[in-house]
Amino acid sequence: MLNIKVSKKWTSEQEVISFHGNFLSGGITALYGRSGIGKTTILRMIAGLECPDSGVIEFDKTKWFDSSVSVNVSARERKVGMVFQENSLFPHMTLLQNLDYARDKSQPTDLLSIAVSSLKVDGLMHKFPHELSGGQKRIGEVLRAIAMNSKLILIDEPFSGVDDPTVDLMLSQLKQVQEKLEITMVLVSHRMDLITSLTSNIHHFSSMLS
C-alpha cells in the first residue's frame, strides 16, 4: 500500500499543492488532471526528488517521509524507478547495456528476462536510444526500472508525443509487464481516454491548487 498525504508551496506563496491518496500495491494507479496542475511534482515527492513542506508518505508500512518526526528517506534508499517525460537512457549504450548497467547485481536476472520476454522487445536490445521510437524509449526506461529491482515505478506522461498505433502497443505492454511481475505502478496523464483502458484506479486532480 502506498499512502500519501502531502502539501507543498508551488510557484508562489499563494499556490499550494495538496494531495491525499491511498494506492494498493501490485497494481496500476493513474493520476489524472490538466497540464500544469502539479502531477509531476507529486511523483517527484514520492520518489524523494522533492521534499514536501508537510505530510506523510508511506510505502508497504515503511515511512519514507513524515514531517511530524523529521523522517525523510533518501531517493536512493526508496528504490523507486522514475520514468521521466524526457529520455534518460545513456545515448552511447545499447538498450541491453543500459539495462545491465542499471541492474541490481545482487538480484537474479530472471525478473528482467521475464519482463523482456513478456513485452516481446528482444529485437530492441542491441539498438541505441537514437534508433528507438519515443514509445520504445519509454518502455526501455520501464525495463530499466525493473532491472534496478524497483519496489515502485512512477511514469510521467508515458503517452506524450507518441503516435496512436504506438500508444496502443504501450498500453498492452504496460498491462502485460505489470500483471506478470505484479509491480506497483503509478502514472500521471492528462489523457483520460487512455488511462481508463489501462486501469480503473484513477485519482482526479481537478482543484489541486489552493
pTM of the model: 0.89
Q: What's the pLDDT score for residue 210?
A: 47
- Three-class SS of the chain: CEEEEEEEEECEEEEEEEEEEEECCCCEEEEEECCCCCHHHHHHHHHCCCCCCEEEEEECCEEEEECCCCEECCHHHHCEEEECCCCCCCCCCCHHHHHHHHCCCCCCCHHHHHHHHHHCCHHHCCCCHHHCCHHHHHHHHHHHHHHCCCCEEEEECCCCCCCHHHHHHHHHHHHHHHHHHCCEEEEEECCHHHHCCCCCCEEEECCCEC
**CATH number for 63:** 3.40.50.300
Q: What's the pLDDT score for residue 31?
A: 92
In a domain, 184, yes or no: yes
pLDDT in 10s for each residue of the chain, 210 residues? 899 999 998 766 567 888 998 888 899 999 998 887 888 999 999 999 999 999 999 999 999 999 999 999 999 999 999 998 888 899 999 999 999 999 888 776 677 888 888 788 889 999 999 999 988 998 999 999 988 888 899 999 988 878 888 888 888 888 888 888 889 999 999 889 889 988 989 988 765 554
In a domain, 28, yes or no: yes
In a domain, 210, yes or no: no
In a domain, 33, yes or no: yes
Domain of 190 in residue numbering reads as 2-205
Q: What's the pLDDT score for residue 76?
A: 92
Q: How many domains does the chain have?
A: 1
Q: What's the pLDDT score for residue 109?
A: 63
In a domain, 25, yes or no: yes
Q: What's the pLDDT score for residue 131?
A: 96
Q: What's the pLDDT score for residue 170?
A: 87
